[in-house]
Chains A and B, each alone.
Chain A
């Protein structure tokens, strides 16, 4: 086996894994704090992709082709637009669909989340039609040569953004009032409320952060894999959910680790075992991990009080 080829695959795996990790962070935060699986998360990513696509193609015509402004402004504006729209969308979904179910059984919330997911897909089909759109990467198509390896700018950006987000989130939840409130709500909703924490506002904030992350994830995912359709978000959504469970759902470093490992396993499984069995292997690994460590790699094992 050629070492350059292995490194090459490793970088691809890291790139794919970083996107999974960013999506998984959104899943894991919402689960950790609201104790619900937001299956519509993947579709928020798709919305983010579309918003960025339309703002970029709308803006790029206003700039001179090839100029620095033409490269930077539409990309930054597109990403910001995607984040803002996704945040508003996430909070709206939370307010309309999940908040009324706060006291309901978790199954009802789960079904609602699946409903929201289909609603978003169909709304996108209606608004933007099924014809696939090809996304222009936010950082151009070039790549960096490191010895025999070529690493595309998109890969570098994805990995960097993933690390930044991860550090920012960890800092946010471990310091600061809101972060502490989040952890408190995640530990015990009732007790947190007794301590004067506004549980509803905290959960809404979690959704806002998770959805903003989905916006970024949408832009990065579409930059790496540029075909945009209304169902684009569903498979990465499921994979990222797997990654979150793999790493230990509710744990922020767990989501990162799970995402990266899942991406690497997926690429290596395809490269060295079989492209036909790629997904089967990915999910088989998940089953094995869950059999050995039911709480996931970095998840806390919580003893049921009897």
Chain B
């Protein structure tokens, strides 16, 4: 009897567990439901055949949700703007949660495919992006990912394009920027061993630094499991006399590095990459620690041009926070697709194969001007890689300020 009871309890536990998981993936639907949420908002959604079905996956819950939610919201703002403005090209946007896990992303992709997705926004982050882009390629659904920056996302897939810099390009641009601006004499790198984003940037940074003659005095690593204590890495950097530490990583570990360097009384310059974006909005983080941190990012929420101001204001009104570059990239994606569809003369009744062929032909030829990149415009080559100029930013008084 007791055994039976024990079994029942165990089963009950499992159920509670499952319910908990179920609930947790439901939350963003509640929190992020400001404008038209996912595709099932029937009120404003145009009838079938009058709008392009645009789908994307991203981490809407879990540790990377700050990126997924930003991309979803940015894209949604663009779609709503296009709807308000009227016109022939309209989108019906649907985002599915992939919790930054490749397997979940494949399921999310299949859900979107079942819904009838004609054009894809790929995935928001790289690890799921590699999985879904392979499916995009097989199914001939054109994809323009806002932020999955690994070169593996587009490699060998002729119909997958990126809006963000690829990881190696970030490493390259960072090394060049540090060298050209004379920011550091002795550079030290702390990178994340088990993350393709971090290793991709670091490898190219090292190669470019060597080519330029930039003095890299050392490097050290960490993994997901050792990202609590950075004192060893920081002491090593200090011992080697580094005056600039390059941090190719996301903002969570970076925030710890800044805190621990401060505790040690070690004050080198810190140079980050676009994953650093988000550090200022971390709850409880002492933003003064990030003072003077430099980073290369394609988007500056403090820029004063009309488009950026309008976007930032709208985003703040709807979601109560300042958009990061993921939101801007996704916003740009929607408008870039609009421009390409107009150029190619596509209509929503075309099949995904037809759209894919048309877009593949048009994309390498267009020059797009959006929130990200400078006034020169954004172009793509036929491999799907983007070409745009990064902006050097420095954190001053708790905000990003352009460096040049």
Instruction: State whether the Cβ of A132 lies closer than 8 Å to any Cβ in chain B.
Output: yes
> Looking at the complex, which one of B2, B14, B20, B223 makes contact with A279 (CB distance below 8 Å)?
B223
**List of B residues within 8 angstroms of A235 by Cβ:** 225, 228
- CB under 8 Å from chain A, chain B span 185-241: 193, 220-223, 225-226, 228-229, 231-233, 235-236, 239
- Check A267–B231 contact: CB distance below 8 A: yes
Q: Say whether, besides A104-B2, A112-B13, A118-B17, A225 and B229 are in contact (CB < 8 Å).
A: yes
Most buried by A among B27, B231, B252, B285: B231
What residues of B have a CB within 8 angstroms of the CB of A108 in the complex? 6, 10
Contact with A along B53-66 (1 / 0, CB 8 A): 00000000111111
Stretch of A61-69, A135-143, A161-169 that contacts chain B: A135-143
Return the chain B residue nearest A53 by Cβ.
Answer: B284
Q: Within 8 Å of chain B (Cβ to Cβ): is A152? A: yes
Q: Does A130 contact B (CB under 8 A)?
A: yes
Which chain B residues border A100 with CB–CB below 8 Å? 2, 5-6, 9
Main secondary structure of the interface of A (DSSP, over half): helix
Report if B262 contacts A (CB, 8 A). yes
Segment with Cβ contacts to B, from A79-87, A119-127, A203-211: A119-127
Q: Are the CB atoms of B10 and A111 closer together than 8 Å? A: yes
Asked whether, in the complex, the Cβ of B283 is within 8 Å of the Cβ of A131, the reply is: yes
Q: How far is the CB of B314 from chain A (nearest CB, A)?
A: 22
Known contacts A103-B2, A104-B6, A226-B259; is-contact A116 B13 (Cβ 8 Å): yes
User: For residues 231 through 268 of chain B, which have their beta carbon under 8 Å from a beta carbon of chain A?
Assistant: 231-233, 235-236, 239, 252-253, 255-256, 259, 262-265
Query: Which chain A residues numbered 138 to 172 have a C-beta less than 8 Å away from chain B?
Result: 141, 143, 150, 152
User: Which listed residue (B9, B21, B232, B283) contacts A97, Cβ 8 A?
Assistant: B9
| Cross-chain contact B235 with A5 (CB below 8 angstroms) | yes
| Chain A CB within 8 A of B282 CB | yes
> Does A12 make an interface contact (CB < 8 A)?
yes
- How far is it, in angstroms, between the C-alpha of A167 and the C-alpha of B23 when the chains are bound? 43
Contact: B228 with A132, CB < 8 Å? no
Q: Could you tell me the distance in whole angstroms from the C-beta of B15 to the nearest C-beta in chain A?
A: 10
| Cβ-defined contact, B232 with A271, below 8 A | yes
Interface residues in A88-120 (C-beta closer than 8 Å to B): 97, 100-101, 103-104, 108, 111-112, 115-116, 118-119
Q: Quick one: which of A103, A135, A271, A276 contacts B193, CB cutoff 8 A?
A: A276
Name which residue of chain A comes closest to B194, CB basis: A276
Nearest B residue to A126, CB-CB: B24
A143 and B265 in contact, given A104-B2, A235-B225 (Cβ under 8 angstroms): yes
Assuming the contacts A111-B10, A236-B228, asked whether A126 and B286 have C-beta atoms less than 8 A apart, the reply is no
Residues of B within 8 Å of A278, CB to CB, are 222, 226
Interface range, B side:
35 or more
Could you tell me if A129 and B228 are in contact, using CB atoms closer than 8 angstroms? no
Q: A141-B263, A275-B221 in contact; A130/B63 too (CB < 8 A)?
A: yes
A-B pairs with beta carbons under 8 A, tally: 135
Supposing A129-B27, A235-B228 touch, asked if A229 and B63 sit within 8 A by C-beta, the answer is: yes
Residue of B222, B232, B259 ringed by the most chain A CB atoms within 10 A: B232
Tell me which residues across on chain A come within 8 A of B225, comparing CB atoms. Answer: 235, 279
Q: Contacts of A236 on B, CB cut-off 8 Å?
A: 228
B-side interface mostly: helix
Smallest Cβ-Cβ distance to A271: which chain B residue: B232
Specify which chain B residues have a CB less than 8 angstroms from the CB of A141 in the assembled complex: 259, 262-263
| Pairwise interchain contact A122-B231, C-beta atoms closer than 8 A | no
**Cβ of A112 and Cβ of B236 under 8 Å apart?**
no
Q: Does A198 contact B (CB under 8 A)?
A: no
Are A152 and B263 interface neighbours, CB within 8 A?
yes
A129 touching B65, Cβ below 8 Å: yes
| Contact between B284 and A225, CB atoms less than 8 A apart | no
Q: How far is the CB of A300 from chain B (nearest CB, A)?
A: 30
CA A126 – CA B226 in complex, angstroms? 25
A57 CA / B285 CA spacing, docked (Å): 12
Chain B residue numbers with a CB within 8 Å of A126 are 20, 23-24, 27
Bound form: Cα–Cα A227–B24 in Å: 21
Chain A 217-234, CB-CB to B under 8 Å as 1, else 0, gives 000000011111101000
Residues in chain A near residue B221, CB distance under 8 A? 275-276
In A239-290, the 8 Å CB interface with B consists of: 266-267, 270-271, 275-276, 278-279
**What are 24 A-B residue pairs whose CB atoms fall within 8 Å in the complex?**
A2-B239, A5-B239, A12-B232, A100-B5, A108-B10, A111-B10, A119-B17, A122-B20, A122-B24, A123-B20, A130-B64, A130-B65, A133-B282, A134-B255, A134-B259, A134-B286, A135-B284, A229-B63, A231-B63, A266-B229, A275-B221, A275-B232, A278-B222, A279-B225
The residues of B with any CB-CB pair to A shorter than 8 Å are 2-3, 5-6, 9-10, 13-14, 16-17, 20-21, 23-24, 27, 61-66, 193, 220-223, 225-226, 228-229, 231-233, 235-236, 239, 252-253, 255-256, 259, 262-265, 282-286
List 16 additional A-B contacts (Cβ < 8 Å) besides A12-B229, A131-B66.
Answer: A8-B235, A104-B2, A115-B13, A125-B61, A125-B62, A129-B27, A129-B65, A132-B63, A133-B283, A134-B283, A227-B228, A235-B225, A266-B229, A275-B220, A275-B233, A279-B226
In the A-B complex, the 10 residue pairs with the smallest Cβ-Cβ separation, listed nearest first, are A134-B284, A122-B20, A270-B232, A225-B228, A134-B285, A275-B220, A104-B6, A115-B13, A133-B283, A126-B24
